[in-house]
């Protein structure tokens, strides 16, 4: 099934209320540098296109770009790395978000129960740790709150290594937004908000998103 580009995925989810980063998609290295000037440094640049699903594996993500020159160089390299099968591509420029905690949220069409929504502990160990919880779409606010309580690693949701406790309201907004997106758009087959980085002030931020449609 086709996937939407990162920017389009985020647009679909943002429309339903999922808080996503303020970010720009541009066509040239010069425009990428201008976008970075507007957003403030450091930024991250990624090659973005409908047919590109696994950016990290292909080295299409550049992190911690600290000035205009770095952005320009990175964007030029990313555009040069595009392959014909990637189709239309652009460079996505976004503020560099960092935090010690990563969560994951998403939508999944279960054969038995239909569309489900998930919240879990993210990061590279996510599939080994499997600290996840599911509900059937649609969910209400109470269901979203209970999903937060379901996670085994509750310590991650509290104050953590000098960082603030997770902003529960924002996290609930992510879940309610995902649920609404699935309800509003029946063509959505799955969605990943991964990683959902928790910043030092506790705000969960959808740094990457991938929506699969039928």
Question: Counting contacts by CB under 8 A, is residue 8 touching another protein?
Answer: no
Question: DSSP label at 80?
Answer: H
List the one residue from 67, 146, 184, 201 that touches another protein (CB under 8 A).
146
- Is 114 a binding residue for another protein by CB under 8 A? The answer is yes
CA atoms in the 13 A half-sphere facing the CB of 56: 5
**107 contacts another protein (rule: CB under 8 A):** yes
CA distance 195 to 42: 18
Site string for another protein, 75-104 (x = CB under 8 A): -----------------------------x
1, 57, 85, 169: residue in contact with another protein (rule CB under 8 A): 1
HEC profile of 140-199: CHHHHHHHHHHCCCHHHCCCECCECCCCHHHHHHHHHHHHHHHHHCCCEEEEEEEEEEEC
Binding footprint of another protein on the chain (CB under 8 A): 1, 3, 53, 104-108, 110-114, 116, 118, 120, 126-127, 130, 132-136, 139, 142-143, 145-147, 150, 190-192, 194, 210, 212
């Amino acid at each position: 099934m086709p996937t939407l580009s990162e920017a389009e995925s985020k647009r679909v989810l943002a429309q339903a209320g999922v808080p996503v980063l303020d970010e720009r998609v541009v066509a040239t290295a010069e425009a990428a540098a201008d976008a970075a000037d507007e957003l403030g440094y450091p930024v991250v640049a990624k090659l973005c296109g409908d047919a590109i699903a696994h950016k990290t594996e292909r080295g299409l993500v550049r992190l911690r770009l600290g000035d205009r020159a770095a952005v320009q160089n990175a964007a030029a390299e990313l555009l040069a790395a595009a392959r014909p099968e990637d189709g239309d591509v652009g460079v996505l420029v976004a503020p560099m978000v960092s935090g010690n905690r990563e969560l994951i949220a998403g939508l999944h069409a279960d054969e038995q129960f239909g569309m489900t929504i998930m919240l879990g502990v993210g990061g590279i160990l996510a599939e080994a740790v499997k600290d996840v919880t599911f509900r059937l779409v649609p969910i209400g606010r109470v269901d979203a709150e209970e999903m937060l309580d379901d996670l085994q690693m509750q310590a991650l949701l509290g104050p953590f290594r000098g960082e603030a406790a997770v902003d529960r309201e924002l996290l609930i907004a992510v879940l309610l937004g995902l649920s609404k997106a699935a309800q509003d758009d029946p063509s959505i087959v799955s969605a990943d908000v991964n990683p959902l980085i928790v910043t030092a002030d506790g705000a969960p931020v959808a740094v990457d998103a991938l929506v699969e449609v039928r």
